[in-house]
Amino acid sequence: MSEGRPVKESKSEYSELAMPNDANPLGNLFGGKVMALVDLAGSIAAARHARSSVVTASIDNMNFLYPVKIGELVTCYSQVNRVFKTSMEVGVKVFVENLKTGERRHTSSAYLTFVALGPDGQRVPIPPVIADTDEEKRRYEDALMRREFRLELKKRALESWD
């Protein structure tokens, strides 16, 4: 495994036009479609960092601040925030752009956890991420608190299923 990779090497941008077949009768993009775009954008950043296959382990809650209308451009920006041996947290921000007016709005954000897999389908170690900027360092530190919260939620869920 290498010494680590800077956050900037994982940064990704994915855009897609909101089309009628992905919208409800009001002309708004389905929330599930937005979530699928977030998952795709997150997996690109995760795979770019890990240089291996990745699978989604969890997605934190998502709020939809503004609707995405048919014909608007949806752009997801993603980056690895922190690595935890075989898993990593990826942050994704979603923006929508009205191509006629140029207006851009931040519509949602999410944190996802991805696990890296080797050719045999088993977990593999991921190179550490190197946070260079103050913003990257803040995200790196905050990711540990979110991970602890996720693990506690997972523990409670498993206990409640027994």
**For 50-74, what is each residue's pLDDT tens digit?**
999 999 999 998 999 999 999 999 9
Low-confidence ranges of the chain (pLDDT < 50): 1
CATH at 16: 3.10.129.10
What range defines the domain where residue 90 resides? 5-161
- Going by the DSSP 8-state scheme, the letter that residue 54 receives in this structure is E
Alpha-carbon distance of 158 to 136, in angstroms, equals: 32
The total of structural domains in the chain comes to: 1
Q: CA-to-CA distance for 3 and 102, rounded, in angstroms? A: 42
Q: pLDDT tens digits, residue range 27-49?
A: 999 999 999 999 999 999 999 99
Q: Which residues of 126-158 are buried (b: 16+ CB within 10 A; e: fewer)?
A: bbbbebeeeebeebbeebeebbeebeeeeeeee
Give every CB contact of residue 40 below 8 A, 6+ residues apart in sequence: 14, 76
pTM as predicted: 0.91
Residue 162: predicted pLDDT = 67
pLDDT of residue 151: 87
